Chain A
């Protein structure tokens, strides 16, 4: 399923991640793909040749709608799914899941936080159990006292204090925000270098999301975590992430520094995402103007990719878009986009004149 080559592959590599400024390279995804097999020989291409790097102390956001393959990327990085093709490197070493020990070593370094804190905690166990287990599993032989101290410290880190009071509780006795704090603490119990947060706040109330993101950011800084933040909320990515990767139908269609990308989106899909975010300052624009008929179809992880996956929904799509899949190409030193019609979609970005105006309107 290789994308149309345009002959200037080297150029594409020159796009550097702004996240690299924060710390050393922690994890690399190099052209990773994942197919899911369906009955009757069909395949779903959930992830298609996705490449990116995670750096210690930096946040990379993976933004896209339901079904775009974001969570599959996280599961691949966590070693929970086998790659169809491509490779993953952790601290320069290829991913090794061949033995139980190797898998556990990987788990110690790479931890996942899930979206739904109601489903991800075991209802019949206390908070203490949820934290003791990973501490024992991942931190070697510790005495009872040492485990207790470690657990108390974790509770402190995620601000569930007084720790003793919370440790005895069951998940149903906690609010959504408190449960997600337990999830964070559980992930930290393994002392990971990479944290994959899959929609960590989207199940929570708007008013506490910010607090949770602040906590996550604080943990990132304190433990120099390489953080992959998966979300469908591009506005939170603007505030929280260093680099943003926009994913559509299993592919990365645009990447760049968070502020630049959200303010001057180049790819038509990113522009749609940005235009869909609630905008109190733009009362009565698109919402009251009636439905945008153009956007009706949901993203489909295609079974037989022909042309640009966004072309059925893209207002700019032409014959070439429907025929050939564009590669992710360098737009500036830090930005790349996969679109044939960038000259029409985002002339300002191409020209490097990004102060020119709001292209989302």
Chain B
């Protein structure tokens, strides 16, 4: 995967072009809070990251273009190992060897900055000012990310003293107001991480990220380890804080259903590449890329009629030797010969009125009929409309691979 893709001159009018301002701003964005007219807070261009291993380079992030506008929530969805965390951490240069950023640029333009800064060329002292002060991260595992021998107050004070020049009294007041902000009673100031529930710990993490009033908060699976009620509570908290403090969010998760509710725009990542970017509504109602379709068809919904769900059969490719062309081809229901040499640059979805709805698949359109997965065998008529069609009787001769791997990807609704 050498850099055959040119230098950021993305084909067509992709969302990643900086010329988006010429298109009349937020009209297509369906009332999202962010205005697309200003320059982006964060602009990632042609970013590639590899992990150097004895067995060869693992291409973790491949030529990614993504922008984050002020006040915008961008969701980054993908499976484990798709490179979403690597992408996010590389924007703060938080990666260490054997990770290596091989190409690209990450430009940051904050309110407190006169002109855009190139993060990939920053000196260590500049990086220190950028991290947390400008871009803060909420890590996935709050238990591991918090220091077990410091109580809540000390963790927060630590952050404040490291990044802001304030007196001890000011810091103490700030800590108290941060706890109020995330809804933790002040009586918990002296609690240690192990004395807090999972949701409470995650709130402390969020309070720490808020401590320096950053412009961008990167959230890496902040609610994955929590159960649904707490998860919802934390998400509502995040949305509320975002409205009040006006920061941008890059929200990383493998659960697309969360993003549909939370994000303004969603970028779908597969095997180190972005395969589709669109508004939450476009991703939900007019998904173009087969992988996005697979993700959408992966989670059981609680409301509405029961659908036949298929998931995505197979597993992601080995990124040490990615297949030529489209990396999703082995798992794709729409594959054809041309896919092995397809150009994976994002281009506008041909039939979409929004030129910022872009996909890497030139063949499948939102209106393309849904097709069964590649491993699907002949399917017998099932009377029970569920993901798990019931076979009539236990039968030792049932073809196993057909039953579990090959659920059809049809989306037809059964009343």
Q: Which of A's residues lie within 8 Å of B, judged by CB?
A: 57, 65-66, 156-157, 159, 175-177, 205-211, 213-215, 217-218, 221-224, 232-236, 238-240, 259, 262, 272-284, 286-293, 295-296, 298, 358, 360
Q: Which residues of A contact B396 (CB under 8 A)?
A: 222
Q: Quote the shortest CB–CB distance from A259 to chain B (angstroms).
A: 7
Of chain A, the residue at the smallest CB distance from B285 is A280
A274-B260 in contact given A232-B228, A280-B284, A287-B232 (Cβ < 8 Å):
no
* Interface: B257 (CB within 8 A): yes
Closest to B234 in A: A291
- In the complex, given contacts A210-B387, A290-B239, what are 4 additional A-B residue pairs having Cβ atoms less than 8 angstroms apart? A278-B258, A283-B261, A287-B235, A296-B183
Nearest residue (CB) in A for B390 is A221
Which residues on B sit within 8 Å (CB–CB) of A221?
A: 390-391, 394
B239, A238: Cβ atoms closer than 8 Å: no
B304: interface (CB < 8 Å): yes
Q: With A208-B311, A222-B396, A278-B260 known to touch, is A66 a contact of B227 (CB < 8 Å)?
A: yes
Question: Which of the segments B4-12, B34-42, B362-370, B399-407 contacts the partner chain?
Answer: B399-407
| CB atoms of A65 and B230 under 8 A apart | yes
B343 proximal to A (CB < 8 A): no
Interface residues of B in 205-228 (CB under 8 A from A): 226-228
Query: When the two chains form their complex, are residues A238 and B394 in contact, meaning their CB atoms are under 8 A apart?
Result: no
- Report if A210-B256 is in contact (Cβ < 8 Å); known contacts: A176-B80, A221-B391, A240-B388: no
* A279 close to B394 (CB less than 8 A): no
Residues of chain B from 383 to 413 with CB closer than 8 A to chain A in the complex: 386-388, 390-391, 394-396, 398, 400-401, 403-405, 407
| B197 nearest in chain A by CB position | A298
CA distance A108 to B297 in the complex (A): 37
Answer yes or no: B306 CB below 8 A from chain A CBs.
Answer: yes
Tell me the B234-262 residues at the A interface (CB within 8 Å).
Answer: 235-237, 239-240, 254-258, 260-262
A235, B227: Cβ atoms under 8 Å? Answer: no
Contacting pair A295 B233 (CB below 8 A)? yes
Cα A259 to Cα B294 with chains together (Å): 24
Is B79's CB within 8 Å of the partner chain A? yes
Which B residues are in CB contact (< 8 Å) with A288?
239
Closest Cβ neighbor of A215 among chain B residues: B404
CA distance A151 to B258 in the complex (A): 40
Contacts of A273 in B (CB 8 A): 228-229
Interface size on B, as a range, is 35 or more
Contact with A along B304-329 (1 / 0, CB 8 A): 10100111110100000000000000
List A contacts of B236 (CB < 8 A).
286-287, 289-292
Residues of A contacting B311 in the complex (Cβ-Cβ under 8 angstroms): 207-211, 214
Residues of chain B within 8 A of A210, CB atoms compared: 298-300, 309-311, 387, 407
Shortest Cβ distance from A70 into chain B, in angstroms?
A: 10
Given contacts A156-B400, A278-B257, A295-B233, are A214 and B387 in contact (CB under 8 A)? yes
Q: Contact check: which of A211, A232, A287 meets B227 at CB < 8 Å? A: A232
Distance of B310 from chain A, by nearest CB (Å): 7
**Known contacts A207-B298, A213-B387, A296-B183; A276 and B229 CB within 8 A of each other:** yes
How far, in whole Å, are A276 and B310 apart by their CA atoms in the complex? 24
Contacts of A233 in B (CB 8 A): 228
Residues of B close to A296: CB separation below 8 A? 183, 233
19 A–B contact pairs at CB < 8 A? A57-B394, A66-B227, A157-B400, A214-B404, A217-B388, A222-B394, A232-B227, A240-B300, A272-B229, A278-B232, A278-B257, A278-B260, A279-B301, A280-B257, A280-B261, A280-B301, A287-B261, A296-B183, A360-B303
Min CB–CB distance B273 → chain A (angstroms): 16
Nearest CB of B to A114, in Å: 16
- Name the distance in Å between A56's Cβ and chain B's nearest Cβ: 10
Check if A278 sits within 8 Å of B240, measured CB to CB: no
